[in-house]
Amino acid sequence: METFFQANRFLHISAGFIGFFVAPVALAVRKGGPAHRRWGKVFFWAMAVAGTTALVGSQHIHSTFLLLTAVFSLYMACFGYRSLYLKHLAWDAEVAAFDWAVAGVGLLVFLGTVSYAFVARNIPVGVFGTLGALTAARQLRGYANAGHWTKNQWLRNHISGFMASYIAAVSAFSVTSLHFIPFPYNFLWPTALGVPVIAWWQRRVSAKKVALAPGSGLSGSPVPGLRK
């Protein structure tokens, strides 16, 4: 069994290492182009593997922080990835039951996380739980308003989801590995640096200043054949 957990730890470190360096590349290249899609997929699957192995590893080392951070990172990565398939909600009010269910379960899980953090007086877990609950609640509110989304709302969700997942992963690495940084700064610095970057990208998307590759499908236009 110990060999299994060692292999899990190696896989977790490898996936996290890939994700740390791939995310800035996907963010830097032209949105919607082949490079962006390729590195974006690599980042998503790296976070999926890192998050899944973190769930397993947290049970071995009995780390509630690692467990809940992994849940948050996985949820946000899936939120960002799933947003690519929700462009139609700008003109179509039909929301899949799967999306309602994921957001609903996510809200319950994150509200439970906040409750746990309050009882345990665990600030890092409370922060991630609060951000997760707000994201899930915003998803549910957005689904209720389906058919009336702004043209680029899906793109804003895509960016915020992936970047929040990245921030969570870096925070977990900082707390568990960068022991020379005192608490709570070891937890807070990725959020302090990452949130302004998310806000900056959100403003660029809202102002339509993001350069999109021709024919990328990232313009938010309706799929041919579907009703506007």
pLDDT tens-digit readout, 87-141: 999 999 999 999 999 999 999 999 999 999 899 888 878 888 999 999 999 999 9
**DSSP characters for 61-98?**
HT-HHHHHHHHHHHHHHHHHHHGGG-GGGGT-----HH
pLDDT at 158: 93
Task: Place 43 in a pLDDT band, splitting at 50, 70 and 90.
Answer: very high
pLDDT at 222: 44
pLDDT at 50: 92
Q: Please give the mean pLDDT across all residues of the chain.
A: 86
Cis before residue 24, ω within 30 degrees of 0?
no
Cβ pair 167, 207 in contact under 8 A:
no
Q: Is the pLDDT of residue 61 over 80?
A: no
Q: Of residues 221 and 57, which shows the higher confidence score?
A: 57
Radius of gyration from C-alpha coordinates of the chain:
18
b/e for 158-189, b at 16 or more Cβ within 10 A?
bbbbbbbbbbbbbbbbbbbeeeeeeeeebbbe
**What predicted TM-score, i.e. pTM, was given to this entire model?**
0.85
Q: Is the pLDDT of residue 189 over 80?
A: yes
Q: Of residues 162 and 217, which shows the higher confidence score?
A: 162
User: Mean pLDDT across the stretch 41-64?
Assistant: 88
Q: Is the pLDDT of residue 2 over 80?
A: no
Task: Place 225 in a pLDDT band, splitting at 50, 70 and 90.
Answer: very low
Q: Of residues 222 and 7, which shows the higher confidence score?
A: 7
User: Mean pLDDT across the stretch 216-226?
Assistant: 46
Q: Is the pLDDT of residue 59 over 50?
A: yes
Task: Place 213 in a pLDDT band, splitting at 50, 70 and 90.
Answer: low
For residues 187 and 178, what is the distance between their CA atoms, to the nearest angstrom? 10
User: Mean pLDDT across the stretch 73-90?
Assistant: 93
